[in-house]
Amino acid sequence: MSLDGYVALPDDTPGPLFDWYDAGEVEVRTARDDLTFHLTPESAAHWAAWTGSLGAIVVGRRLFDLTDGWQGRHPLGVPVVVVTHRPPQGWAHAGPSTEFRDDVVAGLARAQELAGAAVVGVAAGTIASQCLDLGLLDEVAVDLVPVVLGAGRPYFTGIAHGPALLGEPTTTVHGDRVTHLVFPVRR
């Protein structure tokens, strides 16, 4: 997220927001051969801890469409539950690692079943904001990039029951072109 709260430029490109993916000397492999990060040691350690905690991911339809559902294989190597009222028909990459649910509560419940005792991640902003608004999140993680975009697609959107109070950050890790922050949600 940019300092002014955007996760993409108005044309949906990331601009400089992903520069930190390739700003360090530590090679970080993913479940996909076509995607390898190069992070600073601090970012790499944070990334390993964060992604290692995840057991499943819930995503919105928009991110699913933008990524073509990662062709059925998410970079983090965990199952994906897509929240959508219109599951794709005859999707070329349909398989056991991608499921569809028609509302966010059902999507989260299914993801938690798949994750077991591990953490369920929620992305991107629209569905994460919806979950925050409904009181369904334990933490909000932000990779804060030192840039002011001026316009774009906001991370947080559609918060109807705000303000949503968070606690002091439990994680503050400085990488290169990013500060990783994790905030607990206050109930």
List 3, 50, 110, 135, residue binding a copy of itself (CB under 8 A): 3
3-state SS, residue 106:
helix
Toward a copy of itself, which CB reaches closer, 46 or 74?
46
Q: What is the spatial distance between Cα 82 and Cα 172, in angstroms, rounded to a whole number?
A: 30
Toward a copy of itself, which CB reaches closer, 136 or 147?
147
Q: Is residue 22 within the footprint of a copy of itself (CB under 8 A)?
A: no
Whether residue 107 contacts residue 101, with contact meaning beta carbons closer than 8 Å, is answered with: yes
Whether residue 55 contacts residue 77, with contact meaning beta carbons closer than 8 Å, is answered with: no
Give every CB contact of residue 151 below 8 A, 6+ residues apart in sequence.
6, 9, 10
Q: Is residue 27 within the footprint of a copy of itself (CB under 8 A)?
A: no
Q: 4: how many CB neighbours lie within 10 A of its CB?
A: 12
* Partners of 2 in the β-ladder: 145
Closest CA to 132 of 172, 170, 166, 169: 166
Tokens of 29: 């492999």
CB of 113 to a copy of itself, least distance (A): 28
In the shown chain, the binding pattern of residues 117 to 146 toward a copy of itself, with x for contact by CB under 8 A and - for none, equals ------------x--xx------x-x---x
Toward a copy of itself, which CB reaches closer, 80 or 149?
149
Q: Is residue 167 within the footprint of a copy of itself (CB under 8 A)?
A: yes
Give the position of tokens 């051969």.
Answer: 33
List 53, 179, 180, 187, residue binding a copy of itself (CB under 8 A): 179
List 22, 41, 53, 174, residue binding a copy of itself (CB under 8 A): 174
Whether residue 176 contacts residue 37, with contact meaning beta carbons closer than 8 Å, is answered with: no
CB of 130 to a copy of itself, least distance (A): 12
- Residues in contact with a copy of itself by CB under 8 A are 2-5, 9, 15-16, 129, 132-133, 140, 142, 146-151, 154-156, 158-169, 172, 174, 176-177, 179, 181, 183
